[in-house]
A and B are shown apart, each in its own frame.
Chain A
Amino acid sequence: MNRLLVWFGELTTPARLYRRGLWFLLPAAIWILGLLVIPGLSLVALSFAERGPYGEVVWNFSLENYRRLLGYGLFGWSPDTILILLRSLWVAFVTTLICIVLAYPLAFFIASRPPRTRYLWLALVIIPFWTNLVIRTYAWQMLLAPDFPFARLAQALGLLAPDSGLYPSPLAVYIGMITAFLPFVVLPLFSSVERLDWSLVEAAQDLYASRIRTFFQAIWPQTLPGLTVGIILTFIPAMGMFVIPDLLGGAKYLLVGNLIQQQFYASRDWPYGAAVSLGLMVLTLIGLAIYRRRGKDVDLV
């Protein structure tokens, strides 16, 4: 145990190094314990409790909340909660995907501007951040209202019943979500695009690659770091988003974020809310795990 070793010029033993390492880790450990582990464990504990008649938490161990999560309610099995979970997954997935598709041309456009105007364009992407999400979402409500040009156009084209608005609808939710998350993909992607090694693009072209092959072999791999950050910053919050579906989706287009919010506010059913939250967390982790697995073999085209 008293094996000696030289550590960056210092003579020491593994045990001493180990103890010192623990000291260095302590602040981070306290941080994680206080902000993540304790609340997380309380959530887990809460999800096994029961709701009292007045909305208080009754500490009886039960699996009732998880049965409800799987769809077993008072009136037998219904697919509602599972549908909400799957729908949230789907909405987050589509939102992320569309954001990526939109972010690529945007990031390249900005990166190709001369340095002076580049920051102007970046500012345009960032400015919406300075406005509260709720206010932005209300703005969409107004823009999509029945007597606004967008809805009028849709009505004229016969896509919409007369005198109805474009919201509440799934479309409105997607519009709200995509506009809210687009900057989260554009900014990290831009930082990757800005540092792009264009000689690889030239090499690909020199080696007979088509435009698509050039993109996937010479550009895409170089933007993966930025893209990954963008995906994580979009997919995870999109899974739990409740403001946008609440204001733009209406009662028929509930997402899991709304479900959780309802439990903690209107229904005052904290234990069930905790269970749904944990379900969401598991789903998100599965989504990220799939992404990481797939991310390893990016040999497209």
Chain B
Amino acid sequence: MTAAIRPPATGESLSIQNVVKKFGDFTALGGVSLEVPAGQFFTLLGPSGCGKTTLLRIIAGLELPTEGRVVLRGQDLTPLPANRRPVNTVFQSYALFPHLTVRENIAFGLKSRRMDKAEVERRVRYGLEMLQLERFAERLPHQLSGGQRQRVALARALVNEPQVLLLDEPMSALDAKLRAEVQVQLRRLQQQLGLTFILVTHDQDEAMAVSDRIALMRMGHLEQVGTPDEVYERPRTRYAAEFLGAANLIRGKRLPMGLEAPFGKLALGQTPPWDEGYVAIRPERVRLSEVEPRQNGLRVRVREAVYRGAYQEAWLEPCDIRVRTAPHPTLQAGQELWAELPIDALVVLDE
């Protein structure tokens, strides 16, 4: 595969400045500000109805923001209609033109821009090759499988060499296995081409698997933005902790460098900023042992243990903590042992 797409400009970024979107008196986006560095795989993650698609459509120019601006490489895109933005979208429903063949679909954007024939030809061939669609070039969309259609939609957007590629849940119609494959492929493509990708999804595993950075959304607001491990390891709010993976939330009162929990005192890496609030710990960070640990040890009884193949899950009493460990054949309900909540695994949440 030859490098057909121009080298990416690094550093310059897409910037979303205080975007508000109201539908009547319903506020779908309430002041979103975001910086996406060029060449990043950026993911908008959030539950259904939180405004992910709306934000994406505002970037694409398919929806006007009520307030705020979208700036790309220093240029204000807000007044530009969709067809004049150097941005392309892979739609959730793919929106392939049903009367055009795969080849014609892929050529659509190039022909819109009146590119000369040889260049159209070259880029279409490149797109077909890149997504392994050569065999289907002359078929109509309804003669393709879901995964093939998805690839056509991707090729149709990519051959335009957009500065930003927007993907609205492009994998939601695919089965789990294919989805995993496509995720890997997407990630590889993005790195090869060095383009900025903005992916919308409500699947946290998907977000973790492909992203450079994740923006977690909640009811029209950004809850937290960071790399996958930042967002996972250091969630800032209860919502963030619970949306990404499983979390044990421990409620308690503030102590200097510690927490007064119902089941005892815990040492923390910092003094909580609140009087009473939550501390989170991931189930896989809880350590079980036969001997008393030096710090933050709790005497617990196993209420329930479930063997899950790759790992083992257990619920502990009386602190009501969930643990995930490597399979541990001796772990049984009723067993008494020690649980350690390591200081570096305890995250003080904001609220």
Which B residue sits closest to A205, measured CB to CB?
B82
Most buried by A among B61, B91, B97: B97
Query: Is B109 a contact partner of A207 (Cβ separation < 8 A)?
Result: yes
Query: Is B109 a contact partner of A202 (Cβ separation < 8 A)?
Result: no
Which B residue sits closest to A209, measured CB to CB?
B112
| Bound Cα distance A298, B89 (Å) | 26
Residue-by-residue, is B64-82 near A (CB-CB < 8 Å gives 1, otherwise 0)?
0000000000000000011
Query: Is A206 a contact partner of B88 (Cβ separation < 8 A)?
Result: yes
Query: Is B97 a contact partner of A206 (Cβ separation < 8 A)?
Result: no
Cβ of A203: which chain B residues have Cβ within 8 Å of it?
A: 89, 91, 95-97
Number of A-B contacts defined by CB within 8 Å: 64
Query: Is A209 a contact partner of B91 (Cβ separation < 8 A)?
Result: no
Given contacts A202-B62, A203-B91, A213-B112, contact A208 B97 (CB under 8 A): no
| Bound Cα distance A200, B93 (Å) | 10
Residue-by-residue, is A71-115 near B (CB-CB < 8 Å gives 1, otherwise 0)?
000000000000000000000000000000000000000000000
Given contacts A202-B62, A202-B82, contact A209 B108 (CB under 8 A): yes
Residue from B61, B98, B156 in contact with A207 in the complex, judged by beta carbons closer than 8 Å: B156
Query: Is B97 a contact partner of A218 (Cβ separation < 8 A)?
Result: yes
Cβ of B89: which chain A residues have Cβ within 8 Å of it?
A: 202-203, 206
| Bound Cα distance A218, B93 (Å) | 15
Interface size of B by Cβ–Cβ distance < 8 Å?
Answer: 25
| Bound Cα distance A202, B88 (Å) | 11
Given contacts A202-B62, A202-B82, contact A208 B95 (CB under 8 A): no
Q: Is A2 an interface residue (CB 8 A)?
A: no
| Bound Cα distance A206, B112 (Å) | 10
Cβ of B93: which chain A residues have Cβ within 8 Å of it?
A: 199
Cβ of B108: which chain A residues have Cβ within 8 Å of it?
A: 204, 207, 209, 217
Q: How far is the CB of A145 from chain B (nearest CB, A)?
A: 49
Q: How far is the CB of A162 from chain B (nearest CB, A)?
A: 52
> For chain B residues 156-214, which have a beta carbon within 8 Å of chain A?
156-157, 160
Query: Is B82 a contact partner of A206 (Cβ separation < 8 A)?
Result: yes
Q: How far is the CB of A211 from chain B (nearest CB, A)?
A: 9
Cβ of A199: which chain B residues have Cβ within 8 Å of it?
A: 91, 93, 95
Q: How far is the CB of A222 from chain B (nearest CB, A)?
A: 8
Q: How far is the CB of A210 from chain B (nearest CB, A)?
A: 7
Residue from B62, B91, B112 in contact with A208 in the complex, judged by beta carbons closer than 8 Å: B112
Q: Is A221 an interface residue (CB 8 A)?
A: yes
Query: Is B91 a contact partner of A207 (Cβ separation < 8 A)?
Result: no
Cβ of B157: which chain A residues have Cβ within 8 Å of it?
A: 206-207
> For chain A residues 133-179, which have a beta carbon within 8 Å of chain B?
none
Residue-by-residue, is A272-290 near B (CB-CB < 8 Å gives 1, otherwise 0)?
0000000000000000000
Query: Is B95 a contact partner of A200 (Cβ separation < 8 A)?
Result: yes
Which B residue sits closest to A197, measured CB to CB?
B95
Q: How far is the CB of A87 from chain B (nearest CB, A)?
A: 36
Q: Is B113 an interface residue (CB 8 A)?
A: yes
> For chain B residues 93-118, which have a beta carbon within 8 Å of chain A?
93, 95-100, 108-109, 112-113
B residues in contact (CB < 8 Å) with A:
60-62, 81-84, 87-89, 91, 93, 95-100, 108-109, 112-113, 156-157, 160
Q: What are the 3 tightest A-B residue pairs by CB atom distance, in nearest-first order?
A: A207-B109, A203-B95, A208-B112
- Contacts A/B (CB < 8 Å), 8 sampled: A199-B95, A202-B89, A206-B157, A207-B108, A209-B108, A210-B83, A217-B97, A217-B108
